[in-house]
Amino acid sequence: MNLIKTNLSTIHKICLAGLFIPLIVIMQKVLAVNYLAFAPFIRLSFGGPALIIFSSILLGPIYGLLIGICSDLLGYLIFDPRTYPPYLQITAIYALLGLAAYFIFSLVFSLKNKTVMAMIEIISFAVIWLLISGFVIFSKQITLFSSTYEVPLIAKILIPSISFIIFIGLILFSLLYKSKEGDPYASPLHICFASFICDFFIIVIFGSIMKAWAFGFQTFLAIIICQAITMFLNVLIDTIFIVTFLKFSKKYFLKEIDDVKR
């Protein structure tokens, strides 16, 4: 595995980290849907996790870890201290995302066989979509906290349909987008595959365990299903954002490791 390297100095990294943290807070708290009344463990963020991942790629895993922790705690202190107590389990999710993303992307960027990556990604998304759709369509009730709710008919129709459309759009973007010569790590297929690994293992699996710890393990099934549903949107947003961020920051990456497209 060839680790990602940049030409940024420590001063540059500290300054960028100071810029990324408030941007992530804005994306996570302002430009987001936070804690729905029927599912307060779900957050639809339009770019927050993507910027945490990108900060890890650009600045390194330690900075990514600190940015994940600081952005979540700062967001809580500014927006939520009177609403509910701090959940350090949720902070741990973003800390792990910032730490692990660097190594996951370094590993994926070193992979050469794009066909295998595409097949793994398509099959994985297809299996997850089938499991989600089957659960939503055939389940009559779902437990949230200590209460049981009926699964509405509109959810049985919209969730499988919308997640399928996002899935197809994600695959088409990954396969059809053509990167320009000189863009570091600009293969959207690599970025999409790495984003999928990050989201599935950190947000869906680890995140569901942490949120179930915070909100009660009787809610675990509802949490992991909702996390899996939002994963389709998150991976699409992460892929588009990170492709864009890397294009604008290509001058900071060392040339000798820019061979992922070849």
pLDDT tens, position by position, 167-205: 888 878 777 776 555 454 557 888 999 999 999 999 999
Residue-wise DSSP of 181-205: TT-TT--HHHHHHHHHHHIIIIIII
Q: What percent of the chain has pLDDT over 90?
A: 36
Comparing CA positions, the residue from 140, 75, 68 lying closest to residue 102 is 68
Is residue 100 included in any domain, yes or no? yes
pLDDT, averaged across the chain: 84
Q: How many domains does the chain have?
A: 1
Is residue 4 included in any domain, yes or no? no
Is residue 95 included in any domain, yes or no? yes
195: containing domain: 10-257
Alpha helices in the chain (DSSP H): 10-25, 48-59, 61-79, 88-109, 114-138, 153-176, 188-198, 207-215, 220-248
Confirm whether pTM is higher than 0.85: yes
Is residue 68 included in any domain, yes or no? yes
Is residue 190 included in any domain, yes or no? yes
Q: What is the mean pLDDT of residues 116-120?
A: 88
Q: Could you read off the pLDDT of 80-89 as tens digits, one per residue? A: 776 677 789 9
Is residue 5 included in any domain, yes or no? no
Is residue 80 included in any domain, yes or no? yes
Is residue 176 included in any domain, yes or no? yes
Rounded CA separation 231/171 (Å): 14
Give the model's confidence band at 132: pLDDT under 50 very low, under 70 low, under 90 confident, else very high. confident
